[in-house]
Amino acid sequence: METVWITGASSGIGEACALRWAAQGARLILTSSSRERLEPVAARCQEEGAADVCVLPCDLGDPAAVEGLAEKAWDAFQGIDTVYLNAGISQRTTVEDTSMEMVRKIMEINYFSPVVLAKALLPRMLERGGGHIAVTTSIAGRFGFPLRCGYSSSKFALYGFFETLQAEYADKGIQVTLVCPGRVRTRISFYALDKGGRQHGQLDPGQAGGLSAEKAARKIVRAVEKGRREVLVGRGELVMVYIKRFFPGLCARLARRIKPM
- Residues involved in catalysis: 151
Decide: 85 and 79 in contact? Cβ < 8 Å: no
DSSP helix/strand/coil, 6:
strand
Q: What is the dihedral of CA 203, 224, 118, 230, to 10 degrees?
A: -70
Distances (CA, A) of 199 to 36, 182, 188, 191: 19, 21, 10, 6
Q: Which residues of 56-75 are buried (b: 16+ CB within 10 A; e: fewer)?
A: bbbebbeeeebeebbeebbe
Secondary structure (DSSP) of 127-156:
HHT-EEEEEE--GGGTS--TTBHHHHHHHH
